[in-house]
């Protein structure tokens, strides 16, 4: 069975008068757990008592528009309830004190808050955090399907392999020198398997076939529903107009809207950034989505209509529809509805373009000097870093709908596409997620990544500026965007300033494997995968040797 990983956050509104105390509490936890002294194991209690945990952070976001917000972010293996049980066992008193610094929820969780914050309370603090947990709107799991134990185990194997190869290099009779790949593999496997007996077992599949199929199905369902909703105006119109008139109307409207978009395609003065990104190419790449829609919609709707007609026939006798009759009734309707998308989608883009042209962007976001210094002080101690950010979202029904639908779609798409351990061409993200806060008026972003924050963002700006603009362009003050995908994050310096201003200090941050990069974990995995096999193919072994 593959490993189920979970990403979540718990946002709790802080009592303004308790904000300093809360920050101190979190600092105290960090000082107590993060020994940072040679010879003492960092975070020993968490390592032992929360063995499912990959990353954990606790931050306090202060803002002028809202009271401070405490956010606990966690990435772990296995069921949520078990994780919170472990957290309670490890940090019960700390978590209870933290909750005492936060406001009593005004929704139905008020009584639970009272129970867990009462003096000498023995009520489950795990239950409170579980109840206040918020799921991400979009998340990415690097090294997907690798549970913490496996990551650590395979890294231990890597170190054994390195020691074995390094040790023999120092003596004259190097038993590996001159060996063909397959005998080398066999010999090395024999040497390391005693210390790593799990190599003799069949490795657990990182992502099971059923999980992959489920991911694809969910994406397909999303696409079908989204396109169906966008097709609805066209479907209704098709019912009112003769087909020829309808088609003519759609074509004329589409040309008109396209013309208007074309007129507004130019960037606002001084905001254009040259890019190699092509929207037409993107559309062409997504051609399968259109085909999938037609197939899925037809497959779903035809049996529904046929079964429905038979059911009705049992109640009110009338002539039932055959399968082919139903098909020829539904398929043209689907096609006509789909055809209307050439108007609906550009119309939405046109409206958004209008909004974009009137957006305000933040040229000089304010940053608090002392926070900046704290952030810098905590960065680059190990291979990984952590960031948390909250931005306000631009208002409006259309934008809200687009952002919500966009996040949902992006999340589903990532599950289908980011299966190889990486986020597209970016090879530095361990766990990242977005979540909507305060009734969707703010957007939270957390990331656990390799290397420094600067290079992390450079990586994004360089390789995924269009995606970044799409995902974050809804933020108040975001650099000027064009047609949702262009410019925006391509303004490297402005984007970085904007992102920096939205960050806060990661007061407590824990990584179960702080020295390992995403790349190294994948490398360890590849090495272990081939060492699992008694007789890998020649090609596999040659490829494997490049990783040693």
Partner 1 sequence: MSAITSNDVLRPAAKGLKRRLMAAAMSAIPFVFRLMRRFYPIAGFGSTYIVTRYDDVREVFGEDAAFTIPYKANLDVLTGGEPFILGMTRTPDYFRQLVALRQVMLADDLPELGRSAEAHAEMIVSAGNGRVEVVDQLVRRVTFDVLADYFGVPEPGIGKLDVWATRLFEFQFASSPSDHALRQEVEEIAPAFRDHIDREIARRKSDAASLERPDVIGRCLKLQAEGEPGYSDVEIRTAMLCMIVGGPPQPPMVVPQAMEQLLRRPEALAAAAEAARANEDDRLWKILREALRFDPLAPGLTRIAAKPWTIAEGTRRARTIPKDATVIAAFASAMMDERRIPDPGRFDPDRLNHEYIHFGHGMHECFGRYINRATLHRMVKPLLRQPRLRRASGPEGHLSKNGPFSERLVVEFG
User: Could you say whether residue 82 binds partner 1 (CB under 8 A)?
Assistant: yes
Give 435-464 as a 3 state SS string.
Answer: EEECCCCEEEEEEEEECCHHHHHHHHHHHH
Q: How many residues bind partner 1 (CB under 8 A)?
A: 29
Nearest to partner 1 of 150, 433 (CB atom): 150
User: Could you say whether residue 5 binds partner 1 (CB under 8 A)?
Assistant: no
User: Could you say whether residue 303 binds partner 1 (CB under 8 A)?
Assistant: no
Binding to partner 1 in span 90-129, by CB under 8 A = 108-116, 120, 122-124, 126-128
Nearest to partner 1 of 19, 126 (CB atom): 126
* Residues sharing a CB contact under 8 Å with residue 444, sequence separation 6 or more, in sequence order: 9, 11, 71, 388, 389, 390, 434, 435, 436, 437
What residues are paired with 393 via a beta bridge?
Answer: 475
Nearest to partner 1 of 89, 282 (CB atom): 89
- CB-facing half-sphere around the CA of 497: CA atoms within 13 A: 14
User: Could you say whether residue 156 binds partner 1 (CB under 8 A)?
Assistant: no
Nearest to partner 1 of 120, 319 (CB atom): 120
Nearest to partner 1 of 81, 395 (CB atom): 81
Binding to partner 1 in span 212-251, by CB under 8 A = none
- Closest by alpha carbon to 80, among 131, 43, 19? 131
User: Could you say whether residue 133 binds partner 1 (CB under 8 A)?
Assistant: no
Q: Please tell me the distance from the alpha carbon of residue 467 to that of residue 452, in angstroms, as a whole number.
A: 21
- The CB-of-90 to partner 1 minimum distance in angstroms stands at 9
- State the Cα angle at 477 between 486 and 350, rounded to 5°: 45
* Residues sharing a CB contact under 8 Å with residue 543, sequence separation 6 or more, in sequence order: 526, 530
- The CB-of-494 to partner 1 minimum distance in angstroms stands at 46
Q: Select the residue interacting with partner 1 from 88, 94, 215, 459 (CB under 8 A).
A: 88
- The CB-of-52 to partner 1 minimum distance in angstroms stands at 8
Binding to partner 1 in span 433-492, by CB under 8 A = none
Q: Please tell me the distance from the alpha carbon of residue 278 to that of residue 345, in angstroms, as a whole number.
A: 17
Radius of gyration of the CA atoms of the chain, in A: 27
- The CB-of-96 to partner 1 minimum distance in angstroms stands at 12
Q: How far is CA 97 from the centre of its chain?
A: 30
- Please name the residue ranges forming H helices in 170-270: 181-192, 209-240, 243-263
Nearest to partner 1 of 111, 162 (CB atom): 111
Q: Taking the CB of residue 32, how many other CB atoms lie within 10 A of it?
A: 11
- The CB-of-116 to partner 1 minimum distance in angstroms stands at 8
Nearest to partner 1 of 121, 438 (CB atom): 121
Nearest to partner 1 of 119, 242 (CB atom): 119
- The CB-of-93 to partner 1 minimum distance in angstroms stands at 13
Binding to partner 1 in span 17-56, by CB under 8 A = 48-49, 51
Q: Please tell me the distance from the alpha carbon of residue 419 to that of residue 205, in angstroms, as a whole number.
A: 12
Residues that bind partner 1 (CB under 8 A): 48-49, 51, 78-79, 81-82, 84-86, 88-89, 108-116, 120, 122-124, 126-128, 131
């Amino acid at each position: 069975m593959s490993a189920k990983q979970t990403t979540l956050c718990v946002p709790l509104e802080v009592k303004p008068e308790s904000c300093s105390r809360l920050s101190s509490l979190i600092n105290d936890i960090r000082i107590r757990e993060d020994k940072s002294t040679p010879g003492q194991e960092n975070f020993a209690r968490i390592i032992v008592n929360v063995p499912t945990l990959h990353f954990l952070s606790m931050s306090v976001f202060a803002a002028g528009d809202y009271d401070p917000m405490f956010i606990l972010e966690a990435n772990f293996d296995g069921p949520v309830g078990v994780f919170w049980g472990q957290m309670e066992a490890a940090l019960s008193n700390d978590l209870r004190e933290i909750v005492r610094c936060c406001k009593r929820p005004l929704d139905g969780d008020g009584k639970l808050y009272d129970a867990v914050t009462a003096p000498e309370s023995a009520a489950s603090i795990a239950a409170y955090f579980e109840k206040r947990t918020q799921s991400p709107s979009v998340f990415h799991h690097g090294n997907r399907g690798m549970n913490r134990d496996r990551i650590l185990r395979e890294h231990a194997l890597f170190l054994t392999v390195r020691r074995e190869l390094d040790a023999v290099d120092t003596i004259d009779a190097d038993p590996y020198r001159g060996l063909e790949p397959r005998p080398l593999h066999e010999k090395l496997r024999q040497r390391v398997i005693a210390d790593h007996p799990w190599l003799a077992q069949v490795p657990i599949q990182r992502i099971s076939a059923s999980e992959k199929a489920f991911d694809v199905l969910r994406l397909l369902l999303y696409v079908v529903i989204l396109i169906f909703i966008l097709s609805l105006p066209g479907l209704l119109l098709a019912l009112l107009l003769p087909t020829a008139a309808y088609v003519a109307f759609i074509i004329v409207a589409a040309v008109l809207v396209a013309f208007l978009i074309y007129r507004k395609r130019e960037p606002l003065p001084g905001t254009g950034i040259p890019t190699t990104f092509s929207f037409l190419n993107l559309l062409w790449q997504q051609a399968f989505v259109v085909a999938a829609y037609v197939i899925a919609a037809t497959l779903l709707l035809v049996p529904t209509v046929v079964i429905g007609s038979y059911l009705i026939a049992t109640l009110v006798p009338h002539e039932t529809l055959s399968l082919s009759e139903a098909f020829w009734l539904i398929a043209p309707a689907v096609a006509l509805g789909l055809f209307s998308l050439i108007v609906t989608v550009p119309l939405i883009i046109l409206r958004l373009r209008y909004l974009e042209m009137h957006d305000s962007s933040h040229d000089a976001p304010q940053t608090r000097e002392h926070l900046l210094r704290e952030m810098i002080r905590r960065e680059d101690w190990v291979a990984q870093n952590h960031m948390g950010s909250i931005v306000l979202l631009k208002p409006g029904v259309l934008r809200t709908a687009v952002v919500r639908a966009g996040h949902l779609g992006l999340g589903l798409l990532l599950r289908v596409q980011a299966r190889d351990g990486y986020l597209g061409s970016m090879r530095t993200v361990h766990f990242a997620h977005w979540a909507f806060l305060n009734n969707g008026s703010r957007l939270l972003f957390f990331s656990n990544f390799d290397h420094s924050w600067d290079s992390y963002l450079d990586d994004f700006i360089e390789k995924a500026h269009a995606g970044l603009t799409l995902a974050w362009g809804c933020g108040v003050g975001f650099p000027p965007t064009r047609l949702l995908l262009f410019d925006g994050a391509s303004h490297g310096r402005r984007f970085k300033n904007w992102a920096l201003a939205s960050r806060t200090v990661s007061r407590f941050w824990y990584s179960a494997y702080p020295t390992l990069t995403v790349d190294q974990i994948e490398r360890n995995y590849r090495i272990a995968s081939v060492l699992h096999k008694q007789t890998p193919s020649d090609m596999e072994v040659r490829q494997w040797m490049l990783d040693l």
